[in-house]
């Protein structure tokens, strides 16, 4: 584990480190609670103290947030207690490899998605040893660490003729490389091969969902790799695979989040995932997580995940190999329902659309990583965090929903503190969690009411297996205790059950912002009988009584829940 970074893939040793016992966990993917952070924005490692209760970062000017702010790997390692205290079991880091830079070290791709050196940590984030130390400290706590894999493209390491922007024109029209921007990059040096790039210009506004442009074009100024099945494309894929296996060997990481899945191509994703998973087994690591950023609806998701992921590509069978994908359909639906301006039927429909993909209702959670905020907020013209304009109780309800519903919940850093950035650029939703002007102050407040509530809900999740493995059913509701039906208008009582063997856990939320609701909610008639009690385990004290339907011919059972505005509760 020399401090000297290799420059060529020929210098990379992929045999397991002699005498090292690689860390492995028996937890399933759906048991994780992931904390996603941008390395540059989380913490700089200085001995800071949390600001006064309720304090948020100043409204820094956009130009300041477009620069590196100073977050480091050491900073993350110093605050693992904060992340674990929230109830999170895993940390997902934004890309940490060396990115496009400038003579001024404060400028460059602070977000990490413009990689120029796949074999070195960006020095602004720290060193390889810092990563190793972070992973070791996380493992000592029983936490997993996931890295962000950018295998679709690299940074702006070369330019088109005249250093002018070129755009996708015709499917098979390639452009020459005008020149390399530095004699030292990209790394590994084998990447300095024009045939390893598509060279078709930037994806046009009309091309993001059109094949083959969406796979062959460049992401803006970033340079798209040739991930095709031609000889050069296969060489390129092997090169990128070995770079990512190198970090598994060196740092003992536990998974990769795959960037831009639908832009890579099906066969390339399959090869990458198969190679990572098999190498993990070789190292002695089990349950290596590979989850993808797949921006699309269920038709796209169904192609890549679930028990039936084999598909045809020409005359070949392709096994995509992703463990899970980010659940964009839920991200586009849940916020509006929680805030009370979207029909709750849309949320029910979103889950019903999953039925064809799993072995059982409980198994659906294995294939989705759920979220309400992230670093892109894709689909928004004006970028806006969930908490912008929202009440704290709505933030708690949204995160509580993720923790209790199907899927692997993922919280974006700052959401647990009520961060509410919004504006006309990504920088507005990528606020630092440490004060850029006061070196003694950060904003990691474990006494924040949102943080406290999320930690309590996560504890309930750990104590009740039904919330991790159980089947999920949305519950019919009634205002009069007689006429029941699914919630179909706002405001409403939104309720669902998770059932595992003989245990039912009921989760409910009042979407009204100003009215208490006293709705009846259906519970499982096979697990309960009239007169039984359900006990509140989060949100309220006491218990409610199971009642038979007033019509003797109707065998359903229900409980009446009195919920204050935006109140979120869990019962069993």
Read off the tokens for 480.
């009069």
487-518 confidence digits (pLDDT tens): 999 999 999 999 999 999 999 999 999 999 99
**Could you tell me the sign of the dihedral formed by the alpha carbons of 441, 444, 450, 452, in that order?**
negative
Q: Are 31 and 409 in contact (CB under 8 A)?
A: no
- What proportions of the chain, in percent to the nearest 5, are helix, strand and coil? 30, 20, 50
**Residue 2: per-residue pLDDT:** 44
Q: What percent of the chain has pLDDT over 70?
A: 94
pTM of the model: 0.95
Indicate whether 92 pLDDT > 80: yes
Read off the tokens for 286.
């089990």
**Residue 516: per-residue pLDDT:** 98
**Residue 71: per-residue pLDDT:** 98
Q: Are 55 and 18 in contact (CB under 8 A)?
A: no
Residue 379: band (very low, low, confident or very high) from pLDDT cuts 50, 70, 90: confident
**Residue 1: per-residue pLDDT:** 41
529-572 confidence digits (pLDDT tens): 999 999 999 999 999 999 999 999 999 999 999 999 999 999 99
Q: Is 115 left (phi over 0), alpha (psi -120 to 50) or beta?
A: beta
**Residue 397: per-residue pLDDT:** 98
Q: Scan for tokens 């659940």, then name that residue.
A: 327
Phi, psi of 9 (to 5 degrees): -65, -20
**Could you tell me the sign of the dihedral formed by the alpha carbons of 322, 327, 329, 330, in that order?**
positive
**Residue 307: per-residue pLDDT:** 52
Q: Residue 315 CB: number of other CB atoms within 10 A?
A: 5
Q: Which residue has the higher pLDDT, 306 or 283?
A: 283
CA–CA dist 336, 29 (Å, integer): 27
Average pLDDT, the chain: 93
Instruction: Tell me how many degrees the CA angle 245-185-11 measures, rounded to the nearest 5.
Output: 40
Domains, the chain, with CATH or none: 26-152+227-463 (3.20.20.80), 471-571 (2.60.40.1180)
How far lies 356's CA from each of 360, 361, 463, in Å? 9, 10, 30
Contacts 24+ apart (CB under 8 A), 480-487: 480/520, 481/520, 481/547, 481/550, 481/558, 481/560, 482/549, 482/550, 482/551, 484/520, 484/522, 484/556, 484/558, 486/344, 486/345, 486/348, 487/344, 487/345, 487/348
Indicate whether 104 pLDDT > 90: no
**Residue 297: per-residue pLDDT:** 76
Query: Does 270 sit behind a cis peptide bond, omega within 30 degrees of 0 on the bond before it?
Result: no
**Residue 356: per-residue pLDDT:** 62
Indicate whether 348 pLDDT > 60: yes
**Residue 452: per-residue pLDDT:** 98
* 184-198, 210-224, 242-256, 261-275, range with the lowest pLDDT: 261-275
């Amino acid at each position: 584990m020399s401090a000297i970074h290799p420059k060529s893939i020929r210098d990379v040793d992929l045999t397991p480190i002699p005498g090292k016992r690689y860390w492995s966990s028996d937890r399933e993917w759906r048991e994780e609670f992931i904390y996603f952070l941008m390395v540059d924005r989380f913490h700089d490692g200085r001995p800071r103290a949390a600001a006064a209760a309720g304090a948020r970062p100043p409204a820094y000017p956009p130009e300041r947030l477009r620069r590196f702010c100073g977050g480091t790997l050491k900073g993350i390692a110093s605050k693992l207690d904060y992340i674990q205290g929230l109830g999170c079991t895993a940390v997902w880091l934004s890309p940490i490899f060396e990115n496009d830079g400038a003579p001024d070290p404060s400028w460059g791709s602070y977000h990490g998605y413009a990689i120029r050196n796949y074999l070195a940590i960006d020095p602004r984030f720290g060193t390889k040893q810092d990563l190793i130390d972070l992973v070791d400290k996380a493992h000592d706590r029983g936490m997993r660490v996931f890295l962000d894999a950018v295998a679709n493209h690299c940074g702006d390491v070369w330019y088109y003729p005249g250093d002018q922007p070129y755009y996708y024109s015709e499917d098979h029209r390639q452009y020459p490389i005008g020149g390399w921007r530095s004699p030292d990059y990209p790394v590994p040096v084998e990447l300095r091969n024009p045939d390893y790039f598509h060279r078709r210009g930037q994806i046009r506004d009309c091309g993001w969902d059109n094949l083959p442009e969406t796979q062959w074009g460049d992401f803006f100024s970033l340079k798209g790799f040739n991930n095709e099945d031609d000889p050069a494309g296969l060489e390129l894929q092997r090169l990128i695979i070995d770079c990512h296996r190198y970090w598994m060997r060196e740092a003992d990481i536990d998974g990769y989040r795959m960037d831009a899945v639908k832009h890579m191509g099906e066969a390339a994703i399959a090869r990458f995932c198969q190679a990572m998973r098999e190498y993990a087994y070789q190292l002695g690591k089990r349950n290596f997580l590979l989850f993808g950023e797949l921006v699309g609806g269920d038709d796209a998701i169904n192609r890549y995940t679930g028990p039936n992921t084999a598909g045809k590509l020409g005359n070949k069978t392709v096994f995509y190999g992703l463990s899970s994908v980010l659940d964009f359909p839920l991200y586009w639906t849940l916020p509006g329902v929680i805030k009370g301006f979207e029909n709750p039927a849309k949320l029910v429909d979103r889950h019903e659309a999953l039925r064809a993909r799993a072995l059982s209702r409980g198994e659906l959670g294995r294939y989705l990583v759920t979220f309400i905020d992230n670093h892109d907020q894709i689909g928004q013209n004006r970028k806006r965090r969930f908490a912008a304009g929202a009440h704290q109780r709505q933030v708690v309800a949204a995160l509580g929903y993720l923790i209790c519903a199907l899927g692997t919940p993922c919280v974006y850093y700052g959401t647990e503190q009520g961060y509410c950035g919004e504006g006309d650029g990504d920088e507005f939703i990528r606020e630092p969690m440490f004060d850029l002007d006061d070196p003694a102050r950060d904003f990691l407040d474990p006494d924040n009411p949102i943080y406290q509530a999320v930690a309590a809900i996560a504890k309930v999740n750990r104590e009740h297996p039904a919330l991790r493995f159980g089947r999920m059913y949305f519950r019919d509701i009634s205002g009069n205790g007689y006429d029941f039906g699914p919630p179909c208008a706002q405001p409403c009582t939104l309720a669902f059950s998770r059932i595992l063997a003989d245990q039912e856990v009921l989760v409910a939320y009042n979407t009204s912002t100003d009215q208490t609701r006293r709705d009846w909610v259906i519970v499982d008639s096979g697990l309960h009988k009239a007169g039984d009690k359900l006990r509140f385990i989060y949100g309220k004290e006491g218990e409610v009584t199971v009642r038979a339907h007033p019509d003797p011919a109707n065998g359903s059972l229900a409980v009446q829940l009195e919920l204050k505005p935006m109140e979120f509760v869990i019962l069993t």
